[in-house]
Structure 1
Amino acid sequence: MQLQNLTAISPIDGRYRNQLASIDDASNAPKLDHYFSEFALIRYRVWVEIEYLVLLSEEGFLALSAEQIAALRKIYAGFDVSDAEQVKNHEKVTNHDVKAVEYFIKDKMDAMGLGDQREWVHFGLTSQDVNNTAVPLSWKHALERELYPRLDELIEKLRRLAMEWEPVSMLARTHGQPASPTRLGKEVMVFVERLEHQLRLLQQIPCSAKFGGATGNFNAHHVAYPSTDWIAFGNKFVEERLELRRQQFTTQIEHYDDLAAQMDGIKRIGTILIDLCRDIWTYVSMDYFKQKIKAGEVGSSAMPHKVNPIDFENAEGNLGIANAIWEHLASKLPISRLQRDLTDSTVLRNIGVPFAHFTLSLRSIDRGLGKLVLNEEKIRADLDANWIVIAEAIQTILRREKIANPYEALKALTRGAARVNQDTFSQYIDSLEVSEEVKQELRAVTPFGYTGVHPPMAR
């Protein structure tokens, strides 16, 4: 069958493609095919090869005019599918993907009247000088243009909800049991703080690249031009032109340590988001949240009443897949036999897969949050049904007043009791041998107001 959304093996390129690919430039959908497709990999390789050629010219190895440099840069700036197909046609002959890119650029140079300069393309390089700069560059762009902004948007949305729900007192549950009340907004801020911290840690990890010849020592460059400082040239190319961090001592390939650290960082964020999804799912199951209904949608094929929290379930599922792949990539990529083996090549082609599943989860969480409708009546009813949780407050005040064994007294009063309500505590407080002032203080404690303090939530 011809490849299309319905015949794709992976749901990333099938069911979910419209949520992940560049349908049109005006769409707010992620454009992951710009960074992780075969087309994207070829384009970024062309980008690296041409910028390398330009720097060689600027350093005096060949002479290109400003007009010629501008024309060369248009090759990758205007790179389209037909160009990629030309590269693939070369690959059918060469059976080598990077060599095919070299021949494609040489064809373009011949057409531009630069045939006498064509052997400067890929001068002194090995394939990994191109791959280990092209992939980090596309990865960096994907992080900066897709992942970081969308995480920032999610964090900001959660912050707004936290501030909106800050006044809402809510029964907490530790070990699944009723516990000291909290505020709904503060519980959302827990995730804001966690996500924000992990995102900032992730952003501190550099996007690293390898550029140094067949075994990392500029052997071919040095033998051809022994008086040139190729280390300075490589640093300038990678760090100034591509805005990546150049690794100084390498084998034929990059270390992948920073890339692995980034993947571990994204995995931690994914784990936090799974925690968020499960908490909100549970609040929905407790009826603390209703969900907005969309006309025509079906919650169950059998039960007409159902409105399922499917966005959070889908997000959790996609995060699980993403985390499993991130974990494999992060543990596999930094390992290579001696100066190189090829196991990184096929693995590296899959970095867009967990990125896509992670991106899908962000979109699902965003949709799910937008459907939530706070059910304060149910939240207050749960508090009213659990006066038992103020036992902690009562015994703590009594400790302050130096009353003997208040914890044990409250334990006897509340633990295992068939029913504990406001009257239970009123009668107990009346029986205490403390001042009337302290009794008034104790009577003022309710599940609705016993929520402690937390820092301000303003930005």
Structure 2
Amino acid sequence: MGKAGTVQIGRTHGQHALPITVGFWLATILSRLLYNTKKMDELAAALVGKISGAVGAYNAQAGLGILQKCGQTPFEERVLIKVGLKPAPISTQILPPESLAYYLFSCTMQSAVIAQLGRDCRHLMRTEIAEIGEPFEEGQVGSSTMAHKRNPINFENLEGMFIRTKNEFGKVLDTLVSEHQRDLVASSVYRDFPIIVVNLVQQLSTLLRKNDKGATFLSRLSVDEANLRRNFKMSANVILAEPLYIALQMAGYKGDAHKLINEKAVSLAKNANLKLIDAVKHLADNDADLWEAVRNIPEEVITLMREPENYIGLAKEKAMEVASSAGSYLSHRE
């Protein structure tokens, strides 16, 4: 994963939070894709069928001697094996809904993860952020009227397809109850179930669509490292507020370290263009208890407080770990 260590500002509630990496952000999505892929594989293998008659009791097969003629391999099994299904343990005129419902739910969940990628990329393409770029081909229209724009239509469509899919899944839930051994309430509704899979395939097709040179849409996404650095720098002086107040507590500060950072140090750092640790040191000039706590913070921690770009925890390692897991699973799956 080439961007595993490329530093990016993390965002929560739309605000700058703590440093992560581009690879870590993408790995959070990849991990979910991998989880749902495994679930889809597992649940697809668990799909069942039935050739058990009008109420599910094998009345004709048992009463007319068909079971006896088929010997060790029942008629139902002989038919279903041709379409790759196993017989349900028991059924009525219709199958128990669970196996198909769970499979379609896994498809819906996968659709949601692709929508997550779409939403993230759409916001990261905002003019004022511009960390991600969507490839535009010659002749493509960015806006129907404002020719200077490059609207993230593909990413918007990824999220829009999920909205359609989740509403389709509501129909699946509506068919979980049947009257006795069957009624026709759900008959027409069943016909819409494939839409869930079709929508998911359309999302995947968007990501994997190739241009004239054979490069997929996903592979052509661009990461603007200059804008990553610019955006990171906007909050670089203050984004280590969390580790700093914890470090003060660990160093024995008896006051309310969070309140100190929140109400005094952050504003001082912003107004005086100081690193947060230097703002705290400035405040410590008039606070003996604070000064003693600052002195007790290990030097390597003080150094880290001045290098927010290095405060990425295990972001790079986790990104590589997830990428490796995905690669391993997919290679065995093939």
Q: TM-score, normalised by structure 1?
A: 0.59
Partner of 2:277: 425
- Relative to 1, partners in 2 of residues 1:385 and 1:340: Cα closer, same or farther, differing over 3 Å? same
Partner of 2:121: 280
Equivalent residues of 1:172, 1:181 under 8 A apart: yes
User: Do structure 1's residue 389 and structure 2's residue 249 form an aligned pair?
Assistant: no
Q: 1:355 aligns with which of 192, 197, 210?
A: 197
Greater relative contact order: 1 or 2 (C-alpha under 8 angstroms, separation 6 or more)? 2
CA drift at 1:389: 0.8
Equivalent residues of 1:260, 1:333 under 8 A apart: no
Provide the rounded CA distance (Å) in 1 between the counterparts of 2:78 and 2:232: 63
Provide the rounded CA distance (Å) in 1 between the counterparts of 2:38 and 2:167: 23
SS of residue matched to 1:385? helix
- Relative to 1, partners in 2 of residues 1:234 and 1:226: Cα closer, same or farther, differing over 3 Å? closer
Partner of 1:311: 154
Identity of aligned residues (%): 23
Provide the rounded CA distance (Å) in 2 between the counterparts of 1:219 and 1:366: 49
Provide the rounded CA distance (Å) in 2 between the counterparts of 1:242 and 1:292: 41
Partner of 1:3: none
* Structure 2 residue identity aligned to 1:450: Y
Equivalent residues of 1:238, 1:246 under 8 A apart: no
CA drift at 1:349: 2.5
SS of residue matched to 1:182? strand
Q: Deviations 1:79-130 (Å, cap 9, x if unpaired)? A: xxxxxxxxxxxxxxxxxxxxxxxxxxxxxxxxxxxxxxxxxxxxxxxxxxxx
* Structure 1 residue identity aligned to 2:277: F
Equivalent residues of 1:326, 1:354 under 8 A apart: yes
Provide the rounded CA distance (Å) in 2 between the counterparts of 1:333 and 1:402: 61
1:241-320 matches, within 5 Å, as: 241-285=82-126, 286-320=129-163
User: Do structure 1's residue 180 and structure 2's residue 41 form an aligned pair?
Assistant: no
CA drift at 1:299: 0.6
User: Do structure 1's residue 204 and structure 2's residue 64 form an aligned pair?
Assistant: no
Partner of 1:225: 65
- Greater shift after overlay, 275-284 or 397-406? 397-406
Equivalent residues of 1:181, 1:447 under 8 A apart: yes
Partner of 1:400: 250
- Greater shift after overlay, 348-357 or 275-284? 348-357
CA drift at 1:298: 1.6
Provide the rounded CA distance (Å) in 2 between the counterparts of 1:397 and 1:298: 52
- Relative to 1, partners in 2 of residues 1:215 and 1:390: Cα closer, same or farther, differing over 3 Å? same
- Relative to 1, partners in 2 of residues 1:384 and 1:402: Cα closer, same or farther, differing over 3 Å? same
Query: Any unmatched runs of 5+ in structure 2?
Result: 210-216, 285-290, 325-334
Q: TM-score, normalised by structure 2?
A: 0.79
Equivalent residues of 1:251, 1:340 under 8 A apart: yes
Alignment root-mean-square deviation, CA: 2.6
- Relative to 1, partners in 2 of residues 1:256 and 1:424: Cα closer, same or farther, differing over 3 Å? closer
CA drift at 1:185: 0.7
SS of residue matched to 2:222? strand
Provide the rounded CA distance (Å) in 2 between the counterparts of 1:226 and 1:277: 54
- Relative to 1, partners in 2 of residues 1:266 and 1:292: Cα closer, same or farther, differing over 3 Å? closer
Query: Any unmatched runs of 5+ in structure 1?
Result: 1-162
SS of residue matched to 2:166? helix
* Structure 1 residue identity aligned to 2:158: A
Partner of 2:312: 451
Q: Deviations 1:253-287 (Å, cap 9, x if unpaired)? A: 21222111111111122222222211111111121
Partner of 1:326: 169
Equivalent residues of 1:300, 1:306 under 8 A apart: yes
Equivalent residues of 1:253, 1:340 under 8 A apart: yes
Q: Deviations 1:141-169 (Å, cap 9, x if unpaired)? A: xxxxxxxxxxxxxxxxxxxxxx2211111
CA drift at 1:233: 0.8
Provide the rounded CA distance (Å) in 1 between the counterparts of 2:173 and 2:276: 58
SS of residue matched to 2:311? coil
User: Do structure 1's residue 379 and structure 2's residue 228 form an aligned pair?
Assistant: yes
* Structure 2 residue identity aligned to 1:356: V
